[in-house]
Amino acid sequence: MKYFDPHIHMSSRTTDDYQAMAEAGIRAVVEPAFWMGQPRTNVGSFIDYFASLVGWERFRASQFGIAHYCAIGINSKEANNEGLAREAMEILPEFALKEGVVAIGEIGYDEMTQAEERIYQAQLQFAVDHDMVVMVHSPHRDKKNGVLRSIDVAREIGVPMHKLVIDHNNEETVEDVLSSGAWAAFTIYPNTKMGSERMVEVVRRYGPERIIVDSSADWGVSDPLSVPKTAYLMQKGGIDPKAIELTTWGNALEAYAQSGQIDRDELAKDPVIDQRQSYNDSSILRGQKPRVDKPVPN
């Protein structure tokens, strides 16, 4: 099977992770902008970070046959430094409309503050103005109310529900998200959020419609192979193969292909890798022997 991990922070992962992901069958990823672990001190930090998402990471993934897409946005935690967040909003259009950007995200609530809501509203309006998909970060505390508020505000701004992806769901929120018409994404973490076994039961109970599995792997304790591991547990648990395919590939593709940035035909092909390539004179190899695939005959 091929897998799509539509929420993973590869800037925090090693090149070895890309290699392991490719070997496990991960063919495509979405990397949303997020908090890097410590506060940013100036807007230049956002500029360099956004540039890496649309540049270096896209290249690094390609060297292992993984299609890398990204989402650009001001993360909810960083929205609380509202002055800096407003500066970042000014440069957002320089990156959010570039090739390979499939959504505004991840945005939303962390502590449910007024600052978070104002920056959330501003980014939702940007998404509406440019007909973009939105990836929402649901808060870790008071999650149910946070999810409901996220949906309500998106509706008020005018985001079509079929272009809204609510992430970090659990058993408490899934019905609210599905009944709204939005996509329900689930983060599979080793010890927190959703576990793979719980995810199997969610799919068993609710079916696969508009349900998406992702890893959200980042600089913390997390697993970039969560999606294929969850698919394996679904298979062992007797989940219908079509449901497995939808929740670990098809639904993510359907949601983010609404951006117009995903070439479905190209993604369906086996990748042809040439590791002799470089990006701004940087290579992943550090002098090692490159992998060079022969072009597939037409």
User: Could you tell me if residue 248 is inside a domain?
Assistant: yes
CB environment 42-78: b (16+ within 10 A), e (fewer) = ebeebeebbebbbbbbbbbbbbbbbbbbbbbbbbbbb
User: Could you tell me if residue 41 is inside a domain?
Assistant: yes
- Distance between CA 8 and CA 224 in Å, rounded? 7
Q: Which residues constitute the domain of residue 182?
A: 3-267
- Distance between CA 157 and CA 254 in Å, rounded? 23
Half-sphere exposure of 189 (CA within 13 A, CB side): 17
User: Could you tell me if residue 51 is inside a domain?
Assistant: yes
Residue 185 has pLDDT above 90, yes or no: yes
How many domains in the chain?
A: 1
Q: What's the mean per-residue pLDDT of the chain?
A: 95
Residue 251 has pLDDT above 70, yes or no: yes
The reported pLDDT for the residue numbered 189 is: 80
Convert the pLDDT of each residue in 83-100 to its tens digit.
999 999 999 999 999 999
User: Could you tell me if residue 289 is inside a domain?
Assistant: no
pLDDT over 90 percentage in the chain: 91
Average pLDDT over residues 70-93: 97
User: Could you tell me if residue 247 is inside a domain?
Assistant: yes
Residue 192 has pLDDT above 70, yes or no: no
User: Could you tell me if residue 114 is inside a domain?
Assistant: yes
* Residue 286: band (very low, low, confident or very high) from pLDDT cuts 50, 70, 90: confident
C-alpha distances in Å from residue 215, one per residue of 84, 97, 122, 138, 297: 29, 25, 27, 15, 35
Q: Is-above-0.85 flag for pTM?
A: yes
- Helices 114-129 and 143-157 cross at an angle (nearest 10°) of 40
Convert the pLDDT of each residue in 44-63 to its tens digit.
999 999 999 999 999 999 99
Residue 297 has pLDDT above 80, yes or no: no
Average pLDDT over residues 230-235: 96
- CATH number at 214 reads 3.20.20.140
User: Could you tell me if residue 278 is inside a domain?
Assistant: no
User: Could you tell me if residue 281 is inside a domain?
Assistant: no
Cβ count within 10 A of residue 103: 30
